[in-house]
Structure 1
Amino acid sequence: MTDLAIKADGLCRTYRSRRGWLRPSWNTVEAVRGITLEVRRGELFGLLGPNGAGKTTTIKMLSTLLLPTEGSASIAGFDVVRDTREVRRRIGYVFGGDRGLYDRLSGLDNLRYFAELYGVPAREQRSRIAELLEVVGLAGREREKVEGYSRGMRQRLHLARGLLHRPEVLFLDEPSIGVDPVGARELRQTVAELARNGTTVLLTTHYMAEAEELCGRIAVIVGGTIRELGTAQELKRRADGRRVLSAEVFGATDDHLDRIRALPPVRGVSVDAQGLGQLVTVQSDAGADVEPQVREILHGIRVGRLDTREPSLEDAYVAIVTAADEHRAHHESAAVSG
């Protein structure tokens, strides 16, 4: 038995779409460009990346939902193309959102239905469902119709569905998207417990705090390739030497942000909604104090708290993504000029 739960070697996926009928042309999009990674049994591994980076496409190839254009991948030693049936017996797939459940049925009836689909032996179904309802915190609510469930309850039912057949590897594709903070915390606790009990978990998320809390190792995917891979602490070193300025502002426009980005020492700017305002995070070169210039640019709008701090995982993520975008833009510019 291999010690690796997931192995990918040069994994690629290209999409071709046709445009026009009389004089058709083909548009080619490289969604994944040579992903290589190894995930050990029992590891909780994170995939981070912006929208369109290739995270979901990678998971779909690993879970046999998409065929790779190039490269190879295996789950518990079984090839995802040649051994599709064996792979599917060993994996569970849980995605964010409301799809995949039957609203008019109760949570219990949903699990009974999927237990039949997943081939769970009839003599084991009752005890397995009861066990999972306890694990995901839905015991006592299982006879209610799913249409009355909150977003967090739906996600926990999704998780129970994905665990019915005791998968060795569980793929979680942004499971906490849209879930309230209490529901998201309960979901994280459940996922962490699964990993402690030996289930291999591959998690995609846009929430940096979630990735840092749960994942032993994290890969950052940008433009279909892995740009960085390591622990949260190792990735944070990617932002070492940078100065991080956080400003709570109200009414900042794209023009304000573009002017901040244009400052010579600035290496990255991110914006997050925060109540009625925005939290603007500015990364700049070590030794460069951009606070006076930022204050000048923001003159005329309300500025609340403004301070500097140590780089976080989010800062490291922004640094990695920004560097990748700059590299891609430079490469495209060189190709055009050449």
Structure 2
Amino acid sequence: MQASESASAIAVDDLTRTFRGPQGGVKRAVDGLSLRVERGEMVGLLGPNGAGKTSTVKILMTVLLPTSGRARVLGHDVVAEAQTVRRLTGVILGGDQGLYARLSARDNLLLFADLYGLPYREQKRRVPELLDMVGLSGEARKRVESYSRGMKQRLHIARGLLHDPDVVILDEPSNGIDPVGARELRTLVREQVHQGRTVLLTTHYMFEADELCDRVVVMRDGRKIAEGTPESLKKQTDGQVVLTVHLNGAGEDDVARVRALPGIQSVSLSDRDAGQVLDVHSGLKTDVTAAVLAELRGVSVLQVFKREPTLEDAYVSLISGAPR
């Protein structure tokens, strides 16, 4: 079926989705969201848990109805023309869901090819082609239950591309995969855009969005709070200095004292390896190292260095500064 002519591959206008809460209140999972994904473009949908990313993706997948507003894929309304949208869209999820563990990779793909309605002659060509593309030809007859997580993710990609969709939705495809597997997966994803497909990607990995995406949309509390290329979002941190302190024994009181210093825009403390890492964002042109270290009295400081802001820094700044 031919896709109708439309300026954007994905068009979302004033989309809202509400849920009834356990206490009878109404929660807005998606709150007046509008966005565009152009044909042949890869756009990343970023945000913390509960930001509304999954609800937005489920609406585009036609498995969740919007409360109000409109969403279209290649010009087709996701509610009124759900069947057409499903034919034009490939959905690639993560984990064990969506695969039959006791079947081989080949049999999984043949089963889903039947469900997609692919003719037998097309199945014979398409299944080996996709298994080869994702690097599973040699493991094609092994049960999926014996696969590593990375292999399962590659099989998910093959499954989502069986019917040769124009639009691909990837929901955290590299979550939980080792670095080598994640790099291979990013290569596969990048190839889909080179082949002319449109890709919408949700991810918690900022470096992944920075490497792959033409644009990113940042969501919080169901709303869009920022949009632009990774470079343009990083430029919003111009003038910032990111001070990274490796330390041990820091607590909330130490973080609060650093946060109270003049010119400090955000402070985050995280556990990493055998110690802690304190990231300090300063809008001051002057060096704040001495002032920060002075507030970390009684803490074991192991290493201190300054660096240029990354997309993750821009994201943290946006999320921290967005009104709830």
TM range (shorter): over 0.9
Aligned residue in 2 for 1:318:
316
The counterpart of 2:12, out of the listed 8, 12, 23, is: 8
Check if 1:209 corresponds to 2:213. Answer: no
1:223-260: per-residue Cα shift (whole Å, max 9, x none)?
11111111111001121121210112234334433333
**Could you list the per-position Cα deviations for residues 164-197 of structure 1 after superposition, in whole angstroms to 9, with x for gaps in the alignment?**
1111111101110000000000000000001100
- Equivalent of residue 279 in structure 2, options 278, 281, 284: 281
Q: Hey, what does 1:258 align to over in structure 2? A: 256
How far off is 1:83 after superposition? 0.5
Match of 1:113 in 2: 111
Unaligned runs of 5+ in 2: none
User: Quick one: which amino acid aligns to residue 72 of structure 1?
Assistant: R
Cα drift, residue 277 of structure 1: 2.2
Secondary structure of 1:88's partner? Answer: helix
Shift in Å at residue 118 of structure 1?
1.6
Specify the code of the residue in structure 2 equivalent to 1:293.
Answer: A
CA–CA distance in 2 between the matches of 1:113 and 1:259? 59
Task: State the SS of the aligned residue for 1:4.
Answer: coil
Asked if the contact 1:95/1:174 (under 8 Å) is kept, the reply is yes
Contact 1:46–1:218, Cα closer than 8 Å, also in 2: yes
Q: State TM-score, norm by structure 2.
A: 0.94
Specify the alignment match of 2:183 in structure 1.
185
Q: 1:98 to 1:285 in 2, by over 3 A?
A: same
Deviates most, 201-210 or 262-271: 262-271
Secondary structure, in 3 states, of the residue corresponding to 1:283?
A: strand
Q: Structure 1: which amino acid aligns with 2:265?
A: R
How many Å separate the matches in 2 of 1:100 and 1:303? 47
Query: Which residue does 1:162 correspond to in 2?
Result: 160
Structure 1 equivalent of residue 227 of structure 2: 229
- RMSD of equivalent CA atoms: 1.5
Aligned ranges 1:133-144 → 2 under 5 Å: 133-144=131-142
- 1:249 equivalent in structure 2: 247
Partner of 1:55: 53
- What TM-score, normalized to structure 1? 0.90
* AA matched with 2:176: G
Q: Contact between 1:238 and 1:320, CA under 8 Å: does it hold in 2?
A: no
Secondary structure (helix, strand or coil) at the match of 2:139 reads coil
After superposition, what is the alpha-carbon deviation per residue over 1:10-69, rounded to whole angstroms, capped at 9, x for unaligned? Answer: 0111111344xxxxxx12111111111111111111111111111111111111111111
Question: What percent of counterpart residues are identical?
Answer: 52
Q: Distance in 2 between matches of 1:271 and 1:138?
A: 41
Query: Aligned partners of 1:94, 1:278: CA distance in 2, in Å?
Result: 35
Per the TM alignment, residue 272 of structure 1 is displaced from its structure 2 partner at its CA by 4.4
Please give the secondary structure, in 1, of the residue aligned with 2:297.
Answer: coil
Aligned residue in 2 for 1:90: 88
Which has the higher mean CA deviation after the structures are superposed, 222-231 or 92-101?
92-101
Gaps of 5+ in 1: 20-25, 329-338
- Note if 1:32 corresponds to 2:30: yes
Are the equivalent residues in 2 in contact too, given 1:43–1:199 (CA < 8 A)?
Answer: yes
What is the match of residue 98 of structure 2?
Answer: 100
Alpha-carbon shift at residue 107 of structure 1 (Å): 1.1
**Residue-by-residue CA offset, 1:192-220 (whole Å, 9 max, x unaligned):** 00110011100011111100110001111
| Cα distance in 1 between the residues matched to 2:138 and 2:224 | 43
Q: Deviations over 1:277-311 (max 9, x none)?
A: 23321111223543223323433343222111111
SS of match in other structure, 2:204: coil
* Aligned AA (1:294): V
For the residue of structure 2 that corresponds to 1:182, the secondary structure is helix
Range moving further from structure 2, 306-315 or 252-261: 252-261
Q: Residues 16, 107 of structure 1: CA spacing in aligned structure 2 closer, same or farther, 3 A cutoff?
A: same
Name the SS for the 2:154 alignment partner.
helix
Partner of 1:128: 126
1:270 corresponds in structure 2 to 268
The question of whether the paired residues in 2 share the 8 Å contact of 1:12 and 1:71 is answered with yes
Question: In the superposition, relative to structure 1, how do residues 113 and 255 fare at CA in structure 2: closer, same or farther (>3 Å)?
Answer: farther
